[in-house]
Each structure stands twice: as C-alpha cells, then as structure tokens.
C-alpha cells in the first residue's frame, strides 16, 4: 500500500483485516477510498454497508446495499445474502 496507495484490492484486503481486528472505523475509511478508486466495486459497497450497520449508520448502509444490488447485473452478489442485510 505504501508503494501503490491506489491499489484497490490491497486497500479492500486491508479493510477486511481491520474489520477482523475490530477497527470498524478504519475499515470504513479504507472502503471509502476503494470506492473513490473503483466507484462500481459492489463488494466494497457491501463491506462498507456492513461496517456502517455496525456503527448504526443504517440509512447510509441501505444506500450502499441498494447501489450494490442495482449494479449486480452479472449475478456475482448473492441476492439472498444481500436481502438479509437489507432486512437487518
């Protein structure tokens, strides 16, 4: 990341690690960076939404989940799982 701070995959992996360490706010910050670099990254949107739900930012979380769902034209996101988060 120091060599390529715009490497979206590395940032997303680091965000997941931060989630696992309990650093939700840091993970959210990293995922926002990912979405600046790759604005249609559905998986980053879902991970961001999960983080936002953890800090009770439900309205923004639903916005990201809905956006990810709308971009899911290739079926790469499990809609059943997405709907579970929407009904959280």
Residue 50 neighbours by CB under 8 Å, 6+ apart: 19, 61, 85
- pLDDT tens string for the chain (88 positions)? 555 566 789 999 999 999 999 999 999 999 999 999 999 999 999 999 999 999 999 999 999 999 998 998 887 777 666 666 666 5
The pLDDT assigned to 76 comes to: 75
DSSP state of 73: T
The pLDDT assigned to 56 comes to: 94
Give the separation between CA 86 and CA 50, rounded to whole angstroms: 10
pTM for this structure? 0.83
């Amino acid at each position: 990341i120091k060599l390529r701070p715009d490497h979206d995959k590395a940032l997303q992996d680091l965000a997941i690690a931060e989630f696992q360490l309990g650093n939700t706010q840091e993970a959210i910050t990293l995922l926002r960076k990912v979405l600046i670099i790759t604005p249609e990254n559905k998986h980053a949107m879902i991970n961001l939404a999960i983080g936002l739900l953890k800090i009770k930012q439900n309205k923004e979380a639903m916005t990201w989940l809905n956006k990810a769902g709308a971009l899911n034209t290739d079926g790469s996101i499990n809609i059943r799982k997405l709907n579970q988060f929407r009904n959280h």
